Structure 1
């Protein structure tokens, strides 16, 4: 391995790294001083606003404007809202409202909260067009299934975050919405012709570029119609020919997490990192558990690749220049971040506007609430959801129809509320709900994912997300605690 300090610093400039705990370890602070571009914080780094603010201040002291980022989409994917769920509705709810001013102001408020905590980059928004009902990784993270709707809200979200001085990152290029597999585990393949991809997947990214998005994050998916083999993250014709030359993007291209099986499962993280930078990625999001020793292996692989002629020094210099320009933009928006402030109540107001009711809601005198559990995806993690914060008698059950008779008996003589999350993806949940409804046909069903499977029930409530504010909006509609909002929800 070359011990050229200049080359090592250039390699460092491509790295967005995780770390282990609530405190910045010595290896990280030294690495930031030696040119590591920045950090990405996850649940394991966050323990309340005071701790996060102090941590981010310490990181900022280690170098001149390091990138301090996280995945904070609002809605189901939240880091700062891990304890109780997000105070902001996610993209599906905002898309259901379809008010771009609301989307912009919601993201500006979210940016204000992040800025107050010391973050300067948000790996959001997701601008994928969710056309696959069984998509296991996007779903409510998308504004919707219509490309034009997603495009206009993508632009609004980008503007909102960056008005608060927080770098926005449109993802997952060139579009993860038509997949039925999760790139955390496999390499999904999208079979669509070039014309359709341009009209559907690429339209929101074009809108984000026109809105001035500073970073775009790649997807570990295959799209044969776009040329090349393997994941888009490792495909030069997609990152350069399409994203830069055709769409005109001049900012930082960032990889999705390099520890995901879809990109590195067969070749390892160091080799995948070399190929990603060679293909056109300027910044490598390494993932959640790639710590000091593994980061050193990635750095060494990049340096060795230059020595071996597999990666040009000029490509590393270009990547470093782009990340440097991004950090300069952040310095230039310091006044925005200082002045940025949350808009009180905007998240709950948006969630209330998104909630939909089909049928007539009864006055619940003695509700018995059954929550049908659903697995959390890798991107979501373990974040509380459901109505247990508002109702005293709640059962969280597995999606097993074998328990239906017992639950139906417990609900005898009471008002039954059944809460599901993306029931269309889980046949077991559908069977359980159907058996409960056979015994209690007037029951209320609350769908906290996408409202695709709609059973015959007394009333059907759609929240378009499972964030804390989505849950509260549903609880209000059901009369919990006398907190029903003044405005009536749209009827479908």
Structure 2
């Protein structure tokens, strides 16, 4: 009995101690008299109760958001595991893939850009001509000098040269801001949106953007980077979404004005092209309106095409047709075009919008195919890869050289053996790759500077 009373007294004391700081901080004990009796007024008690209730509600909301994210991730992981087995029917080992028909391996591999853990891991794929390029990111450069990373890249290029092959694509994700995967050792820079935020005229903005891009291009070039995944031309629309854990487009976007975004992207890409670095507009069809994080599951773009044409798609359409510019296609379903399939492997999106309507014969590369939006799709990773290639997507990005690579390549090899590949589209992609990427002397067709009337009206401050 005494223990029960003592426990009740202790709990009462702790509840007071926990609730008191919510209102007063350093005045938590101000409500006690010398005798120790509480002298809180009714108003103070109500305020404390309200503060405690708000605090509990805030914690509950956070817990609900976290639980929702965990449930979505778990669902995506389960779907990914199920979908991964749908195609191919026979999963080849890495050794079997590299030992497969050399001509087929080279032809199919010329559509892949892969990330990797170490240079020794990716070297056998380069030696077997099994990939088109590599993706360099933070774990490849962490704790290393730029000169050492550049040497490793050059060693891979030397292998290609000895094979009589064109240069290896060396891609990076160096947008500026928190997506600066190569900083350090490369110099850190803010986002393009930060650069122009306080500038009042187009002449000021152009000067600042070109100086920024030149600094970045020199840094990338000395490392051996030939393609950069930037700029972000998704629009800054609405407010950050609670369901967006990693994409964070609101913070990465340049601006909400599509004409201004188009101008900044054109100035940036024109500068990178002068250094023979391919810039990549991302992420078509636009993530500005998309609430869901495509790292977990595919997003949905429910707006009408007429609205998208005047806003989200405008920066892409005005800049993507310039030589030396690629476009990254994201894992977002465009309801007005194809409700069932993410744009990154949708034949309808590519061949009714991006190619004919936009009159675009430039390079198309997917966002990372190891994301949940692809691996958890109804097609699975392998099926999605076959659809992407058959739709005329030129390059598939796979950021991890793990089991995903084996699934993807097994599916492509199987589909090719069954005669399921669209060879006419494949030939068109190979021609684009030869024109813009696979060039021995690193010469990319010069860009034609976009005139003011092409980019749209001058943007007022």
TM bucket (normalised to shorter chain) is: 0.5 to 0.7
1:408-419 alignment to 2 at 5 Å?
none
Determine the C-alpha separation between the residues in 1 that align with 2:236 and 2:117.
33
Q: 1:109 to 1:335 in 2, by over 3 A?
A: farther
* Structure 2 equivalent of residue 317 of structure 1: 427
* Structure 1 equivalent of residue 155 of structure 2: 58
* Structure 2 equivalent of residue 214 of structure 1: 325
* Structure 2 equivalent of residue 254 of structure 1: 365
Match of 2:412 among 293, 297, 302: 302
Q: 1:213 to 1:335 in 2, by over 3 A?
A: closer
**8 Å CA contact 1:95, 1:150 repeated in 2:** no
Match of 1:102 among 205, 208, 217: 208
Aligned-residue RMSD, C-alpha: 2.5
**8 Å CA contact 1:91, 1:140 repeated in 2:** no
1:15-414 alignment to 2 at 5 Å?
15-21=112-118, 23=120, 25-31=122-128, 34-46=129-141, 47-63=144-160, 64-82=166-184, 87-98=188-199, 99-135=205-241, 136=244, 137=247, 138-266=249-377, 267-287=379-399, 289-291=400-402, 294-328=404-438, 331-333=441-443
Residue 168 of structure 1 aligns to a residue whose secondary structure is strand
Q: 1:52 to 1:178 in 2, by over 3 A?
A: same
Determine the C-alpha separation between the residues in 1 that align with 2:361 and 2:444.
22
Residue 254 of structure 1 aligns to a residue whose secondary structure is strand
Deviation at 1:321, TM superposition (A): 2.7
Residue 16 of structure 1 aligns to a residue whose secondary structure is strand
Q: 1:88 to 1:330 in 2, by over 3 A?
A: farther
Q: 1:154 to 1:26 in 2, by over 3 A?
A: closer
**8 Å CA contact 2:321, 2:361 repeated in 1:** no
Determine the C-alpha separation between the residues in 2 that align with 1:188 and 1:159.
31
Q: 1:22 to 1:35 in 2, by over 3 A?
A: closer
Determine the C-alpha separation between the residues in 2 that align with 1:297 and 1:227.
25
**8 Å CA contact 1:75, 1:86 repeated in 2:** no
Q: 1:81 to 1:330 in 2, by over 3 A?
A: farther
Q: 1:71 to 1:308 in 2, by over 3 A?
A: same
Determine the C-alpha separation between the residues in 2 that align with 1:24 and 1:331.
27
Structure 1 residues 88-109: Cα deviation after superposition (integer angstroms, max 9, x where no partner) = 2202203414502211221122
Deviation at 1:159, TM superposition (A): 0.9
Residue 193 of structure 2 aligns to a residue whose secondary structure is helix
* Structure 2 equivalent of residue 5 of structure 1: 102
**8 Å CA contact 1:151, 1:207 repeated in 2:** yes
Residue 176 of structure 2 aligns to a residue whose secondary structure is coil
Tell which structure's C-alpha radius of gyration is larger: 2
**8 Å CA contact 1:23, 1:45 repeated in 2:** no
Unaligned runs of 5+ in 2: 1-89, 91-96, 161-165, 200-204, 447-460
**8 Å CA contact 1:95, 1:149 repeated in 2:** no
Please give the TM-score of this superposition, normalised by the length of structure 1.
Answer: 0.63
Please give the TM-score of this superposition, normalised by the length of structure 2.
Answer: 0.67
Determine the C-alpha separation between the residues in 2 that align with 1:239 and 1:20.
32
Unaligned runs of 5+ in 1: 337-491
**8 Å CA contact 2:320, 2:362 repeated in 1:** no
**8 Å CA contact 1:13, 1:319 repeated in 2:** no
Determine the C-alpha separation between the residues in 1 that align with 2:390 and 2:126.
27
Q: 1:316 to 1:334 in 2, by over 3 A?
A: closer
Moved over 6 A (4+): none
Higher helix share: 2
Q: 1:62 to 1:277 in 2, by over 3 A?
A: same
**8 Å CA contact 2:227, 2:278 repeated in 1:** yes
Deviation at 1:217, TM superposition (A): 0.6
Deviation at 1:270, TM superposition (A): 2.1
Determine the C-alpha separation between the residues in 2 that align with 1:119 and 1:225.
37
Structure 1 residues 395-443: Cα deviation after superposition (integer angstroms, max 9, x where no partner) = xxxxxxxxxxxxxxxxxxxxxxxxxxxxxxxxxxxxxxxxxxxxxxxxx
* Structure 2 equivalent of residue 348 of structure 1: none
